[in-house]
């Protein structure tokens, strides 16, 4: 019964994220069809990647006719934060069965990590309840992402090309950036990424984006270490 309660609690806690998940997934489906993908390709993109920032990054590069390796490398650079999520959550669910850990690795997106990490630090639970909560969170976040992508792709096919939807990409990135600036380290990472990306704007295939992303992650990590040392010095 406690496992079921954890699962339903996870679903309940994740419901507010639908306000963000559905619009962005619809937006991706629309822009994907504008970029030339058909409905099934757009859906497959969301199923395979399931990471909004990386999907928009790769899509923008595809629209700019960048080589495949550049699109893949840029999406990977954007998604390197997920490796940090994995390292952070491993102490909590590392003892789960392998098949559950495989699924958890796939579904460990920003919103899922934020909710589960907070819950695991707040409550003491056996591993079965932790995994039940994890998958409860996944259902309202990831399943609607697929469905909304499909809906957006189907709607996108009905929009005349003359209208043009390229402008929504920078708007989408700006909307995703704001909620992520939660700490000084996040702000340092964002500023470093902006400065480096603009400094290397002359590079072909938007490689400046990859350079900015790597610089931002390194600057953010260094800022985090500096802040931790400062806290320890004051303790």
The model's confidence at residue 12, banded by pLDDT at 50, 70 and 90, is very high
Pair 223, 166 in one domain: no
Per-residue b or e along 70-108, where b marks 16 or more CB atoms closer than 10 Å to that residue's CB: bbebbbebbbebbeebbeebeebbeebeeebbebbeebb
Helix 127-156, helix 81-93: angle, nearest 10: 150
**pLDDT at residue number 162:** 58
Q: Judge if 185 and 115 occupy the same domain.
A: no
* Token pair listed for 23: 């619009």
**Last residue of one domain, picked from the residues 180, 207, 226:** 180
If asked whether residues 194 and 174 sit together in one domain, one would say no
- Tens digits of residue pLDDT in 50-69: 887 788 878 877 777 777 78
Q: Are residues 29 and 98 both part of a single domain? A: yes
Same domain, 79 and 191: no
Residue 167 has pLDDT above 70, yes or no: no
**pTM over cut 0.85:** no
Same domain, 188 and 165: no
Rg of the chain over Cα atoms, rounded to whole angstroms, equals 19
104 pLDDT band (50/70/90 cuts)?
very high
> For position 180, what pLDDT does the model report?
61
Q: What is the pLDDT of residue 77?
A: 74
**Look-up: residue for tokens 């491993």?**
90
Whether residue 114 sits in one domain with residue 46: yes
**Confidence check: pLDDT of 174 > 80:** no
pLDDT of residue 152 exceeding 80, the answer is: yes
DSSP assignment of 62-75: HHTT--HHHHHHHH
Q: How many CB atoms lie within 10 A of CB 13?
A: 17
For residue 204, pLDDT over 90 is answered with no
Range of the domain at 113: 2-180
Nearest to 116 by CA among 221, 100, 176, 28: 100
Residues 154 and 50 in one domain: yes
Residue 175 has pLDDT above 60, yes or no: no
Asked whether residue 112 falls in the same domain as residue 216, the answer is: no
């Amino acid at each position: 019964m406690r496992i079921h309660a954890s699962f339903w609690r996870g679903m309940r806690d994740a419901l507010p994220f639908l306000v963000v998940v559905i619009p962005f997934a619809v937006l991706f489906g629309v822009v994907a069809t504008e970029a030339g993908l058909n409905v099934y390709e757009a859906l497959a993109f969301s199923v395979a990647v399931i990471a909004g920032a990386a999907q928009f990054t790769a899509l923008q590069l595809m629209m700019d006719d960048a080589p495949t390796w550049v699109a893949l490398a840029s999406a990977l650079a954007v998604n390197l934060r997920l490796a940090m999520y994995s390292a952070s959550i491993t102490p909590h669910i590392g003892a789960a069965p392998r098949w559950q850990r495989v699924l958890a690795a796939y579904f460990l997106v920003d919103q899922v990590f934020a909710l589960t990490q907070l819950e695991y630090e707040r409550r003491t639970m056996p591993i079965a309840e932790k995994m039940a909560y994890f998958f409860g969170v996944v259902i309202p976040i990831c399943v609607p992402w697929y469905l909304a992508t499909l809906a957006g792709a189907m709607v996108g096919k009905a929009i005349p090309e003359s209208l043009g939807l390229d402008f929504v990409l920078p708007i989408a990135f700006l909307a995703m950036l704001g909620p992520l600036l939660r700490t000084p380290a996040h702000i340092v990472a964002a500023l470093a990424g902006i400065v480096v990306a603009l400094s290397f704007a002359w590079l072909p295939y938007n490689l400046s984006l990859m350079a900015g992303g790597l610089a931002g992650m390194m600057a953010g990590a260094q800022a985090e270490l500096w802040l931790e040392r400062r806290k320890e010095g004051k303790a």
